[in-house]
Amino acid sequence: MTRKLTINMDADGLQLYPHYFDREAQSALLCELREAVRFAPPYRPHMPRTGQPWSIMQTNLGALGWISGAQGYRYDAFHPLTNEPWPAIPKALLDLWAEISGYDAPPECCLVNIYKGEKARMGLHQDRDEAATDAPVLSISLGDTCLFRVGGFARSDKTKSFRLASGDVLVLGGASRMRFHGVDRVISGSSQLVSGGGRINLTLRRVTKPA
């Protein structure tokens, strides 16, 4: 069961679906992720220029995976460590995309960001490595609540922050597709979904423009 309550945070494509996935659906998604990471183990990405390791772990699902490393930001069909194809995107996430994205083609990437520990966060950034920038970005939260920050179209623009809890779905689409956004911190112990604590963020993206 899913709740289809929509809150329009802005009139230009930024939408929050609080508790879209109920606890049962969250647990089912987590079980599928556990199985997927057996074939696509999480790894720690590095900044392209400095080689600085990120504070989070990552992996991907889908036809294409987003990678950060010495070769820059890019999409690739294969896991950077195992050189194997990424596991498939779970059906529940494909159904979510079909229901609320408003886009005619399915997602090609599900980026999995894993936040563990007090220092895990994500600086302000834009999702701009995709050719299909007319497609929205869908973000699904599992586990501990995070303090999410969203701004304008320049890094220096004014920002606002709000909480994303387990089961919430956030859409950045339309005129808000290229807004800067990031995660300030994760509120430890705010959810019991993930064993040992932490937050898992699933980001659905369409990478290539459909024919």
Residues 6+ away with beta carbon under 8 Å from 4: 17, 20
Q: What is the pLDDT of residues 93-120, one digit of tens each?
A: 999 999 999 999 999 999 999 999 889 9
Average pLDDT over residues 54-70: 96
Q: How many domains does the chain have?
A: 1
CATH at 136: 2.60.120.590
User: At residue 38, what is the residue type?
Assistant: R
153 lies in some domain: yes
User: What is the distance between the alpha carbons of residues 144 and 182, in angstroms, rounded to a whole number?
Assistant: 16
2 lies in some domain: no
Hey, what are 12's tokens?
């230009």
199 lies in some domain: yes
Residues 6+ away with beta carbon under 8 Å from 106: 94, 97, 98, 206
pLDDT at 3: 45
210 lies in some domain: no
- Label residue 211 by pLDDT band (50, 70, 90): confident
15 lies in some domain: yes
* Domain region containing 166: 7-205
1 lies in some domain: no
**pLDDT of residue 68 exceeding 70:** yes
User: What is the distance between the alpha carbons of residues 73 and 49, in angstroms, rounded to a whole number?
Assistant: 10
